[in-house]
Structure 1
Amino acid sequence: MHSCIDRKIRSLCFMFSLSDLILVFTSSAKHLCPPDQREALWEFKNEFSVQKLDSSWWESDLKTERWRNNTDCCSWDGISCDSKTGKVVELDLWGSSLNGLLRSNSSLFRLQHLQSLNLSTNNLPGILPDSIGNLKYLRVLKLRYCNFFGNIPSSLGNLSYLTDLDLSVNRFSGELPDSMGNLNRLSELQLRYNNLGGNFPAVLLNLSSLTQISLSYNKFKGMIPSNMSSLTNLESLEINGNLFHGSLPSPLFMIPSLILLNLEGNSFSGPIEIKNISSPSKLEVLSLGENNFDAPIQGSMSKLVGLRTLELNYMNTRITLDLSFLTHLKSLSYLDLSGNDLKVSSTLHLPSLGFLYLSSCNIVEFPKFLQSQTRLLLLDISVNQIEGQVPEWFWRLQIPHVNISQNYLTGFDGSADVIQRTGGVVTLDISSNAFRDPFPLLPNSTEYLFASDNIFSGEIPWTICDLVYLDRLVLSNNNFSGSIPPCLIFLVSPSCESLTSRKITSLGSCNQTTLLVGAQCRYRLYTSKVIRSIGFQELANRTIVRPWL
């Protein structure tokens, strides 16, 4: 009996051991890349120097520096291999600080089984070699921000499996090659920020699989083709920042899948005609600003009931925009009408509106319809002709980011603490007006205060020291005098020893130039508060960055 049990146990142990052995074998087989693939990758690594660049918007990841020769290349950073053959199918070296030419005989092109290649954000100055067309199994090709120049190679047309192509932020020039018409599987095409030109690429109109096209900020010209509706799967079209002109073909708005349409910054003119749409439009983002439309547009817009973002800034229509058409756009959350003459109904209500730009609209009073906008997060009504006092109801809206600069405002309706009591302000720009005392009391939530170029006088209010989140304070070109609040006394700068060595207690103890630091001085505050930088005046004329710009 015992021997029978022992045999069963031994049999089970053998089975478990065998299964473990199989798992180890298959696991190692899964990750082991062929020697020729490893050699090609190692040679590719040595074709470039690695020069790490300082950048405020991305951090280098030096993947190739962590590669080790004579090890399994499938375990190297940025490499993915086929689970069965071990062939390299993905190479992702985004932001690896590679520096050098991508040559036509690069060992990269020996990786014939690549399906995804991402070399974006490296410095590869030169012409993109025709050899790129030898990687015939590529599905994804991302070469964004690589410093390539010259023509886009016609060999890209050989990549018949390609679904995603990104050549943005380079210096490519000329027209798109006709061979790109062979990319029948292409879904996403990103070509923004190049020097490409010619008419709208007709070669794209036959690629019905396209869902995204971005040709922004190039030198394309001419008129938009009338048969754009052939792109039946198109969801996003960005052609802003080009030289297109003429009227917009109405079929453009009838693409059933279109969600985003950006035509800003061209020379389009004429009317905007949106014919009757059989099914509700899916369009959510529409940007038509900075063009030359010369006919009313509002009647057409009312049919786009799904819009969430609408940019009609600087339309140059010479026609007053009657905003009553917005009544139908109940989902609208972002609206930019800057640079237009407006006719605004006091009963207008946009229940979802969060961001509103009405700069340079010749407005002479605070629009009454604002009183019903309870979800505003940002309001810009700068560069208008609004006079008098800011009404008390305005602060009850509790808008976090407010820009009322460059008007003719003189004060605040109600008591000096009206803003503080209502709360909610994070950014407040009241600069370039005619505000007089008293200086407004602000809520603790305030992070940015721009109050330069007014007529405030007397002492800088000590209540500023209570603003524990204040990050930027600009009070230049006023008539302040007297003592400086204690939290602003310690001005520390390595290049301004005269300020670091002593405590300034009043405006009378130093001349204005010294207090305002001077052209060569950059300084910070180190206090128990968290004010990190102060801008009484930076005489070097450094641009102040505001959240709405």
Structure 2
Amino acid sequence: MSQPCLHLRLISVLLLCCILFASHVLMITALVCRPDQIQALVQFKNEFESNGCNRSDYLNGVQCDNSTGAVTKLQLPSGCFTGVLKPNSSLFGFKHLRYLNLSHNNFTSSSLPFEFSSLKRLEVLSLSSNGFIGQVPSSFSNLIHLTHLNLSHNELTGRKVPEWLWKLPHLSLVNLVNNSFTGFEGSSDVFLNSSVQLLDFAYNSMTGELPVPPPNIIYLSAWNNSFTGNIPLQVCDRSSLTVLDLSYNKLTGPIPQCLSNLKIVNLRKNNLEGSIPDEFYSGGLTQTLDVGYNRLTGKLPRSLLNCSFLRFLSVDNNRIDDTFPFWLKALPNLQVFTLRSNRFFGHLSPPDKGPLSFPELRILELSDNNFTGSLPPSFFVNWKASAIKQGKVLTSYNTIDFSGNKLEGQIPESIGLLKALIALNLSNNAFTGHIPLSLANVTELESLDLSKNHLSGTIPRELGSLSFLAYISVAHNQLKGEIPQGPQFSGQAETSFEGNAGLCGLPLQGTCFAPPEQQPEEEDEEEEEEVLNWKAVVIGYGPGLLSGLLLAHVTASYKPKWYLKIVGLDKPKEVKPVRLFMSLDSRWDSYNNHVESESDT
């Protein structure tokens, strides 16, 4: 037999073995399960419309006990089933189930059946995002082996969370997010004997005082409710507590003096008073501190210098009266820093006249304060995180907002070093001089607002090379000459250029080339020469390329999704949440993703 034939047969045998092995892997789940269990699984599937999945998708989420052949795990594919989960469903015949996940299907208008209590061996029960209505049945109290309960994103209504839930002896994770619970049955220490470690009841309709956290709590989220009163002092006794999110409530009183113990602290949009505690000890683990939209006074605590892991710091919309905290540039990991709408004052240029160096800073919001003085030419030299061009990915978003202050002098040419800058807002100041030509080097720029200053000269035509520039405003300055043509400029609203008596050309009304009025011959020749010069400049530059999304300037009323995502974590009560920013009226989406990942862990 020839050598090529031997090779061909050998390859054929290997392919056949691979096919048989793959088939065995695909069928192993079905082979382990008893025939009656497989039949019950098919029957359960047939109780619903399941056009969104096939049998293999369905069986991939099934596990059976190797010795008994009974189904012990059932995880439905997302979006697979539609219909009503009835009390007589074959689901409740799987008495050996330990893990049941029906999340992200459509059991619209289904109440939670009492028959769940027949699954007495359940350890994990996830029913989130299904459209369940009504109340949590008291029969759930029979699920004494339950460790994880997820009822989030349903339409459970009308009553308080039952007290018996916290008596389940092994319960460690409870997720009640986005329902309509109005509070908790029992007293303020209803959690006192609970074993729960991860507890999330955000985005409900809860009122009254916040209950004392469980003794072993690690993660506590109660944002977007209507809790009143003080933050329980017992949070300082919870040594395991890592994440505390009480934002978007109506809490009053002081901030507890134990924040260094926590990695994430979000107290945004409450009615808290007093000053930020100066109790951040050396070696503290705080990574995120958001106390924006409260009634805080005093100064920024200098002990924040001890928070070497701090990445996100927001104190916006308070009444803090202080100078710019140059000392914070010593924090090696600070990425987001907002002081917006406070009473900060003084110069932004460091006392030593050197550059303002924040090695990892990506978002700096200082708008609506009382900062004064000029910015030295080297102001942006050592902003390394914004200078590294990282591509069009979420982690590269960089924003600088100095609007609404009293800054003066020229805009530093070093702004051109910030290659990854996405949005720049210097509006409502007193800047003078020309628009820096170096802005043409900021190739990722999408939003530029220089309005309401005292800028003079012409608009640099080089800005037409900014391919992603979707919003620009230079209104109410002292600019002159023709507005550069090209999609970056002609697509803007007329209001982006108004208030400059010397500007002409689209999108403003009128033209730079109107017929000259009858004048003496000598003046007529000069004007003709000037017009020809302008034409030469126009011909010398080609049109730009319009791409990217329309970004408005950094204001409290506008919240683009990219800004929400880098900080994440957006969540106003009046707006459906995910988690933080442009005006920081939302959340660090940093939070939601971080929160969910911790919950998964």
| TM-score bin (small chain) | 0.7 to 0.9
RMSD: 4.0
The alpha-carbon distance between structure 1 residues 281 and 426, as it changes in their structure 2 partners (threshold 3 A), is: closer
Q: 2:547 aligned with 1:531, yes or no?
A: yes
Aligned pair partner of 1:419 in 377, 400, 415: 415
* Cα deviations by residue, 1:234-293 (Å, 9 ceiling, x for unpaired): 211112222222233333112121111122222332334548xxxx96421122232223
- The 1-side partners of 2:299 and 2:104 are apart by 43
Quote the residue 1:187 is aligned against: 172
Quote the residue 2:55 is aligned against: 67
- The 2-side partners of 1:140 and 1:87 are apart by 17
The alpha-carbon distance between structure 1 residues 200 and 352, as it changes in their structure 2 partners (threshold 3 A), is: farther
Aligned length: 472
Q: 2:270 aligned with 1:284, yes or no?
A: no
* Cα deviations by residue, 1:123-180 (Å, 9 ceiling, x for unpaired): 2222222222222222211222222222122222222221111111222221122331
Quote the residue 1:353 is aligned against: 334
Quote the residue 2:43 is aligned against: 43
Quote the residue 1:252 is aligned against: 235
Aligned pair partner of 1:306 in 285, 289, 307: 285
- The 2-side partners of 1:106 and 1:78 are apart by 19
Aligned pair partner of 1:132 in 88, 106, 116: 116
Quote the residue 2:151 is aligned against: 167
How far apart are residue 482 of structure 1 and its match? 3.1
The alpha-carbon distance between structure 1 residues 388 and 265, as it changes in their structure 2 partners (threshold 3 A), is: same
How far apart are residue 109 of structure 1 and its match? 1.8
**Matched residue SS, 2:192:** helix
- Counterpart amino acid of residue 204 in structure 1: F
**Matched residue SS, 1:403:** strand
Quote the residue 2:448 is aligned against: 450
- The 2-side partners of 1:246 and 1:188 are apart by 26
Aligned pair partner of 2:400 in 375, 379, 403: 403
The alpha-carbon distance between structure 1 residues 39 and 530, as it changes in their structure 2 partners (threshold 3 A), is: farther
Quote the residue 2:314 is aligned against: 336
How far apart are residue 509 of structure 1 and its match? 6.8
Q: TM-score, normalised by structure 2?
A: 0.67
**Matched residue SS, 2:434:** coil
- The 1-side partners of 2:299 and 2:268 are apart by 13
* Cα deviations by residue, 1:353-394 (Å, 9 ceiling, x for unpaired): 221111111334454579353321221222334456544343
Quote the residue 2:294 is aligned against: 315
Quote the residue 2:461 is aligned against: 462
Aligned pair partner of 1:221 in 207, 210, 220: 207
- The 1-side partners of 2:551 and 2:504 are apart by 16
- For structure 1, the residue ranges without an aligned partner over 5 or more in a row are 1-19, 52-61, 492-505, 514-526
- The 1-side partners of 2:95 and 2:456 are apart by 73
- Given that 1:472 and 1:535 are in contact with CA atoms closer than 8 Å, whether structure 2 keeps it comes out as yes
Aligned pair partner of 1:121 in 104, 109, 132: 104
How far apart are residue 530 of structure 1 and its match? 7.2
Q: TM-score, normalised by structure 1?
A: 0.73
- Counterpart amino acid of residue 320 in structure 1: G
- Given that 1:95 and 1:120 are in contact with CA atoms closer than 8 Å, whether structure 2 keeps it comes out as yes
The alpha-carbon distance between structure 1 residues 355 and 346, as it changes in their structure 2 partners (threshold 3 A), is: closer
**Larger deviation: 393-402 or 143-152?**
393-402
Aligned pair partner of 1:378 in 328, 351, 363: 363
- Given that 2:372 and 2:408 are in contact with CA atoms closer than 8 Å, whether structure 1 keeps it comes out as no
Aligned pair partner of 2:224 in 215, 230, 241: 241
The alpha-carbon distance between structure 1 residues 189 and 509, as it changes in their structure 2 partners (threshold 3 A), is: closer
